[in-house]
Amino acid sequence: MAKGVKSTVERRLTGKRYQKCVASLFCCVLLSFLNSALAFNEAQPSHAQQAAPQASFATIVVIYIKVAGTSPPGTPDYLKSPSNEGTAGASVAIEDANITGKFLGYQFELTEISVPSIGELQASLAKTHQHSRSSANANHKEISSNQQGNIAPVVLLDMRSSDKVKAASIEQLIATIQRTLPNAVFFNVANSDDLLRQNSCRLPLFHTIPSYQMKADALAQWFRTKRIDEIFAVYGKTADDAAYLAAFKRSAKKFKLSLVETKQWQDSFDLRRAAFAEIPQFTRTTETYQAVFTADSAAQFAYSLPFNTYYPVPVVGAAGLKALGWHFTHEQWGARQLQSRFNDTFNRHMNEIDFAAYLAVTAVANAAQQGSDLTQQGILKTLLSDHYTLGAYKGRPLSIRPYTHQFRQPIALAHEDALVTHAPLEGFLHQTNELDTLGSTHTTCKDKL
């Protein structure tokens, strides 16, 4: 309560909306959500609330787990991800949620865990688990016996696919975290790999970041609309790049585009010195092309392709026209308000990972707002219900695909200076929901939740 009031006053006086909350010890998190479970039962929102209840607040713990290896050499400084990428989006969502929570009796808290590799996270979780379990046993016996009624911790996962991190290893990671936090609800906020969505139907895992398939379909719809048929694809060396390329190949087939050539980036010259001489050579093909698709998640080369390809044609994908879950130039449908809240707090633009984290917290905050059950089972039931929708500044309600647990959403097609449009583009129809012209709706996933 005090925190909510304080932040409002501070905002009014200084315009600063952000109070970063980073707790270092994982056990503190565990204990605080165990404590809060009891408080929540007393603070269930009723239909018409009297203002500013003084009763104890339920606390919903958000844990942002970032596995960020060092960026590979060659990435220009100006293209490196901001260090608070993702957590900044979660913070803004939490601030919004806590203004609402002030009226309804709950608050969200953010904890960040950042490790260089999955191996270290597994080790650190195992250690924390042991530690928290023993302290929970020592001090909170009565609470641990009542775990069934617990508010689920919300775990946001930020890890890209790499040679070391495969979709399968992320599932193992979830299993590991579940040993410590058995009732957590997981949100993938950074990984677009479609493979990661294959088995999601049986996991308490949702994807707020669009899949590569959704992004590739959005680009393909733009190609079709512009009557561009012949595409040259260039991809980098990471597993992420291979995943985007695979998705694009599938889209090309679906939308009848022709891939005239596919080529991997080889790092064979210095882009700082030789780009104008070498890129045209690198992008020279035997057949002509009308556009270049790039998959380059590590920002190794795609940035140097626009206005420099052998055939002077549009570049899309990792540079030029990008298909994104969010772009800072999007202002419609109230988005300008969210953009300015974000900019005012962090002095930088909101990117799609920030937005995916914002969405994940907002999905749970919305459930809290509606007075839904906030246990793991309760949240899963709410999010997977047939009528689930979520407002998200995108002009139409978002919903969740039952097999992939992917948030259906419009995809921004944008370049550095402006939003071009949102996909699905006009004319691409679907029998139930036009958003399902982007990405796949079904998988072979069995044992659906």
Beta carbon of residue 397, minimum distance to another protein (angstroms, whole number): 5
Q: Nearest 5°: phi and psi at 235?
A: -135, 155
* Region from 117-125, 212-220, 367-375, 416-424 binding another protein, contact rule CB under 8 A: 367-375
* Of the residues 2, 14, 47, 54, which one makes contact with another protein according to CB under 8 A: 47
Nearer Cβ to another protein (311/333): 333
Residues 6+ apart with CB under 8 A from 83: none
Residue 370 near another protein by CB under 8 A: yes
Beta carbon of residue 101, minimum distance to another protein (angstroms, whole number): 9
Calculate the alpha carbon distances from 222 to 179, 231, 294 in Å.
44, 13, 15
Asked if 345 and 96 count as a contact pair (C-beta separation under 8 A), the reply is no
Beta carbon of residue 130, minimum distance to another protein (angstroms, whole number): 40
Beta carbon of residue 416, minimum distance to another protein (angstroms, whole number): 21
Site of tokens 């246990």: 375
Site for another protein in 142-201 (CB under 8 A): none
Residue 13 near another protein by CB under 8 A: no
* Of the residues 2, 48, 138, 418, which one makes contact with another protein according to CB under 8 A: 48
Nearer Cβ to another protein (71/369): 369
> What is the contact mask toward another protein in residues 78 to 97, using x (rule: CB under 8 A)?
------------------x-
Burial (CB count within 10 angstroms: exposed 0-12, middle 13-18, buried 19+), residue 269 = middle
> Hey, what are 341's tokens?
């809240």
Nearer Cβ to another protein (49/130): 49
Beta carbon of residue 313, minimum distance to another protein (angstroms, whole number): 32
Calculate the alpha carbon distances from 324 to 36, 412, 443 in Å.
36, 5, 23
* Of the residues 1, 8, 19, 32, which one makes contact with another protein according to CB under 8 A: 8
- β-pairing, 58-67 vs 106-115, is parallel
> Hey, what are 140's tokens?
């909170």
- Rounded Cα distance between 384 and 206, Å, is 10
> Hey, what are 314's tokens?
């549009």
* Region from 7-15, 72-80, 114-122, 251-259 binding another protein, contact rule CB under 8 A: 7-15
Residue 14 near another protein by CB under 8 A: no
Beta carbon of residue 99, minimum distance to another protein (angstroms, whole number): 5
* Of the residues 2, 24, 51, 268, which one makes contact with another protein according to CB under 8 A: 51
Q: Nearest 5°: phi and psi at 71?
A: -70, 145
> Hey, what are 286's tokens?
């035997």
Residue 427 near another protein by CB under 8 A: no
- Rounded Cα distance between 181 and 188, Å, is 16
> Which of 433, 431, 400 has the alpha carbon at shortest distance from 201?
400
- The three-state DSSP-derived secondary structure of 284-317 is CCCCCCCEEEEECCCCCCHHHCCCCCCCCCCEEE
Residue 343 near another protein by CB under 8 A: no
Nearer Cβ to another protein (11/349): 11
* Of the residues 50, 268, 286, 444, which one makes contact with another protein according to CB under 8 A: 50
Reduced to 3 states, what is the DSSP secondary structure of residue 366?
helix
Residue 441 near another protein by CB under 8 A: no
Beta carbon of residue 48, minimum distance to another protein (angstroms, whole number): 5
Beta carbon of residue 36, minimum distance to another protein (angstroms, whole number): 21
Site for another protein in 240-259 (CB under 8 A): none
The letter for the amino acid at 447 is: D
The letter for the amino acid at 205 is: L
Q: How many residues bind another protein (CB under 8 A)?
A: 37
Residue 369 near another protein by CB under 8 A: yes
Nearer Cβ to another protein (15/73): 15
Q: Residue 235: left (phi > 0), alpha (psi -120 to 50), or beta?
A: beta
Asked if 165 and 53 count as a contact pair (C-beta separation under 8 A), the reply is no
Site of tokens 């980036």: 265
> What is the contact mask toward another protein in residues 382 to 401, using x (rule: CB under 8 A)?
-------xxx---xxx-x--
Residue 292: enclosing H or E segment and its boundaries? strand 291-295
Beta carbon of residue 9, minimum distance to another protein (angstroms, whole number): 9
> Which of 19, 28, 61 has the alpha carbon at shortest distance from 156?
61
Task: Please report, as ranges, the residues that interact with another protein according to CB under 8 A.
Answer: 8, 11-12, 15, 45, 47-52, 96, 99-100, 102-104, 334, 337, 340-341, 344, 366, 369-371, 389-391, 395-397, 399, 432-435
